[in-house]
Amino acid sequence: MFPILLTAALAASIILGVFLYRNFNRKRPIPAVLRSAAIVKINSYKSFGIMATVQFNDAGAPQVGERIQQEGDTYKIKGVVFESPQQHNHVWECKLEKI
């Protein structure tokens, strides 16, 4: 009787340990701030990725790693073309990655 009870307690503790390990070691997403912008035009290139003309609502230049949202899709800025002739009125050429 005692070995059966000991085996059941050991099995329960192993299952509980696995459950707790999986629960507490989960990667939690870092809340990212979405920058206010409008994607004016999207050009998709197979070799280079998604290039888009993006108009930002604030005056700051876009930075790599920032996120923007358009029609329910979230995009991460992977690159910015700084020598583009369309840098007036807060419009930038950006390389985007769809998240």
Q: 3-state SS of the chain? A: CHHHHHHHHHHHHHHHHHHHHHHHCCCCCCCCCEECEEEEEEEEECCCEEEEEEEECCCCCCCCCCEEEECCEEEEEEEEECCCCCCHHHEEEEEEEEC
In the predicted structure, residue 44 carries a pLDDT above the cut 80 = no
Instruction: Look at residue 87 in the predicted model and tell me its pLDDT.
Output: 64
Q: pLDDT category, 84, cuts 50, 70, 90?
A: low
**Residue 39, token pair as written in the block:** 């994607």
**Residue 14, token pair as written in the block:** 């192993």
Instruction: Look at residue 14 in the predicted model and tell me its pLDDT.
Output: 97
How far is Cα 20 from Cα 75, in angstroms, rounded to an integer? 34
How far is Cα 31 from Cα 97, in angstroms, rounded to an integer? 17
Q: What pTM does this model have?
A: 0.61
In the predicted structure, residue 86 carries a pLDDT above the cut 60 = no
pLDDT tens for 56-80 read: 888 778 888 889 888 888 888 999 8
